[in-house]
Structure 1
Amino acid sequence: MMMVKAGLIPLLISYVIALVFTVMPMPALLEPWRPDWVSLVLIYWLMAIPHRVGVGTVLIVGLLTDILLGSTFGVYASALLLISYPVLRHYQRIRHYALVQQALVVAILIFFKRVIVYEIEHVLNDAVFSVPYLYPVVSSALIWPWVFLALRRYRRHNHIH
C-alpha cells in the first residue's frame, strides 16, 4: 500500500473547499464581489510551505479551475502560474509583512491575475471589459486577513509542515 505524505489530505481538502467556494451560489448583488478563493488559498500555501506547494500544484489547481469554470483550457492555470512566481520568489519577505501589507500584496497579485485572464479571454473569445470584473481584487484583499488566520490555524491543527 502506498504511503500518503503527511498533511497531503488536508492540503487537498483546502483546494477542494476553495474550488467549491468559487462556484457556490451567491445572491446576485454579491456575485461580482466574490473573492478569488483559489488564488487566496494558493497564495497562502505558497507562502507557508513553498517546499511542498510549488508550480506543479498551482498548475493542477489552475487546470481544475479552468474545467470547473468552463473557461478556455489553461487560462486560469497560466494566470495562476504567473502570479505564483513572485510569491515563491519573495515568500520569506511577504510572510513577515503585517496582514494589511500582505493584503495589499494579495490585491496586486489578484489584480494582475484578473488582467492576465481578461487579456487572454479578450484575444481568444472577444471578452468585453467592465469595471465589476475587478471587484474581486477589493473583496479578496479585504478578506485576506481572515483567510490567512483561518488557514494558519488549519495548518497548525493538521501539523502541515
Structure 2
Amino acid sequence: MWIKSGLLPLLASYIVALVLMVMPMPAFMEPWRPDWLSLVIIYWVMALPHRVGMGSVLVLGLVADILMGSVFGIYATALLIMAYPAIRHFQRIRNYSFTQQAIVIAMLVLIKRVIVYELEHVLNDAVFQLAYLYPVISSTVAWPWVYLILRKYRRHYLVR
C-alpha cells in the first residue's frame, strides 16, 4: 500500500537527505556540504505540489532541528520561508533550464542560510563566517544531479 501510494519512496528520499545532512565528512569538505534537505524539499515541491506542501516542510524542519541540535523551530522556520516561493511558483520554476533553476536554488538556499544564521545569532550569539555561505555554491552545483536522480527515482517508483 505504501509503495503503490508513493509514500514510502517519498519518505525514503527524506531520510536519505536527513542522513546526508549529518553524515561525517572530512574537515576540509565540511563547510562545502550541500544543503541536501533543502534540495530534496525543493525538488518534491516542484514535482508533486499536490502532495508535498507546507505541512511536510514543517515536519521535516522540526526533524532537522532535532538532528542538528538547534533551538526547536529554527530550521523549521527557515525551511518554511525558503519553500514558500518554490511552492508558490513551482510551475514557472519547473519550466526553467538547469542554469536558471540553479540560480533560483542558489537564492532559496541563501535565504534559508541567512534566516538560520540570523536566528542563531539572536538566540545563541552565533558569529558570522564566510564559510557559512559555501553550501549555497555547492548546492547550486549539486542541483542538476539531485534533480536528475530524484526524477529517475520518482519515475521508477511511479510516485505521483
Fold agreement, TM-score > 0.5: yes
Q: CA deviation at 1:77?
A: 0.4
Comparing 127-136 and 3-12, the one that deviates more? 3-12
Q: Is 1:84 the counterpart of 2:119 in the alignment?
A: no
1:74 alignment counterpart: 73
Deviations 1:37-80 (A, max 9, x none): 00000000000000000000000000000000101100000000
Q: Sequence identity, in percent?
A: 65
Residue 116 of structure 2: aligned partner: 117
Task: Tell me the SS of whatever aligns to 1:50.
Answer: coil
SS of residue in 2 equivalent to 1:12: helix
Partner SS state of residue 154, structure 1: helix
- Report the equivalent of 2:136: 137
Q: How far 1:22 sits from its partner (Å)? A: 0.4
Question: Are 1:49 and 2:48 counterparts?
Answer: yes
TM-score normalised by L of structure 1: 0.97
- Name the CA distance, whole Å, in 2 between partners of 1:122 and 1:48: 34
Hey, what does 2:59 align to over in structure 1?
60
Alpha-carbon displacement from aligned partner over 1:89-123 (angstroms, at most 9, x marks no partner): 10000001001110110000000000000001100
Unmatched 5+ residue regions in structure 2? none
Q: After the TM superposition, list the runs of 4 or more consecutive aligned residues in structure 1 that deviate by more than 6 angstroms.
A: none
Distance 1:87 1:61 in 2: 16
Matched, 1:9 2:8: yes
Q: How many residues align?
A: 159
* In structure 1, distance between residues paired with 2:144 and 2:99: 8
Report the TM-score when normalising by structure 2.
Answer: 0.98
Structure 1: 5+ residue stretches without partners = none
RMSD: 0.8
Specify the code of the residue in structure 1 equivalent to 2:53. Answer: G
Amino acid at match of 2:138: S
How far apart are 1:81 and its partner, in Å? 0.3
Shift of residue 20, structure 1, vs aligned partner: 0.4
How many Å separate the matches in 2 of 1:67 and 1:145? Answer: 29
